[in-house]
């Protein structure tokens, strides 16, 4: 079993979302210790943002790319391969100016490739990747869940759906900048939910593996 962990916070050890992805990963491994964790930290090890040259490189895939373009394609293929291997994902998702961190957007821009992870059709784009659980651990300084100011949640749903991944499961830790007490209360509540989600998610996949083995 493989769990992909994506961190996107730029604040390092002070990151609330990274604290929650740590808790999630520990709880998951406590339930399924044989899990291989694939880590991608797009906050501390940024993916280059898409520019004209990188866009041209991805468009040149299979069309005699130059050596520089081949490197961009190889980077994209590595990110996609990590995603394809994962049976489940956990994503640390802080909110910066009402949206996702730019490092996460840069990673996604290298993963979303027409003809590779989705196809254009007359009725709209169709994702080519297998659906799998994606646990989004969303941390916010203010309170936005269910409000018009939450631009993040619908964007993430649409973003992953483009690839064919629709099983998104959100845990919110909000009001973290309102006061020390609010932060402590929100993080404690989120940690309980995160650990429960991790244990339940790991147990479900272990059961799926057991059923597949017995069917062989």
CA 160, distance to chain mean position in Å, is 9
Residue range 57-90, pLDDT digits in tens: 888 766 778 888 899 999 999 999 999 999 999 9
Q: What is the DSSP string of 135-176?
A: EEEEE-SS--TTSTT--HHHHHHHHHHHHT---EEEEEE--T
Domain holding 9, by residue range, is 2-215
Number of domains comprising the chain: 1
Rounded Cα–Cα distance for residues 59 and 129 (Å): 19
Find, among 132, 24, 125, 152, the residue nearest to 82 by Cα: 132
Residue range 82-134, pLDDT digits in tens: 999 999 999 999 999 999 999 999 999 999 999 999 999 999 999 999 999 99
CATH number of the structural domain spanning residue 32: 3.40.50.360
Percent of the chain's residues with pLDDT above 70: 99
How buried is residue 45: exposed, middle or buried, by Cβ count under 10 Å (0-12/13-18/19+)? exposed
């Amino acid at each position: 079993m493989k769990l992909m962990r994506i961190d996107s916070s730029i604040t390092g050890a002070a990151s609330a979302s990274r604290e929650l992805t740590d808790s999630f990963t520990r709880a998951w491994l406590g339930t399924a210790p044989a899990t291989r964790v694939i880590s991608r930290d797009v906050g501390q090890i940024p993916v280059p943002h898409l520019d004209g040259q990188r866009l041209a490189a991805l468009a040149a895939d299979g069309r005699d790319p130059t050596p520089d373009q081949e490197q961009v394609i190889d980077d994209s293929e590595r990110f996609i391969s990590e995603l394809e291997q994962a049976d489940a994902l956990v994503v640390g998702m802080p909110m910066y100016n009402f949206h996702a961190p730019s490092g996460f957007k840069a990673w996604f821009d290298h993963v979303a490739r027409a003809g590779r992870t989705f196809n254009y059709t007359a009725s709209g784009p169709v994702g080519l990747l297998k659906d799998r659980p994606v646990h989004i651990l969303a941390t916010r300084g203010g309170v936005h869940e269910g409000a018009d100011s939450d631009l993040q949640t619908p964007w993430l749903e649409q973003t992953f759906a483009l690839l064919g991944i629709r099983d998104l499961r959100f845990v919110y830790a909000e009001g973290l900048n309102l006061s020390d007490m609010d932060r402590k209360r929100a993080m404690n509540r989120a940690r309980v939910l995160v650990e429960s989600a991790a244990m339940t998610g790991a147990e479900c996949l272990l059961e799926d593996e057991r059923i597949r083995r017995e069917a062989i």
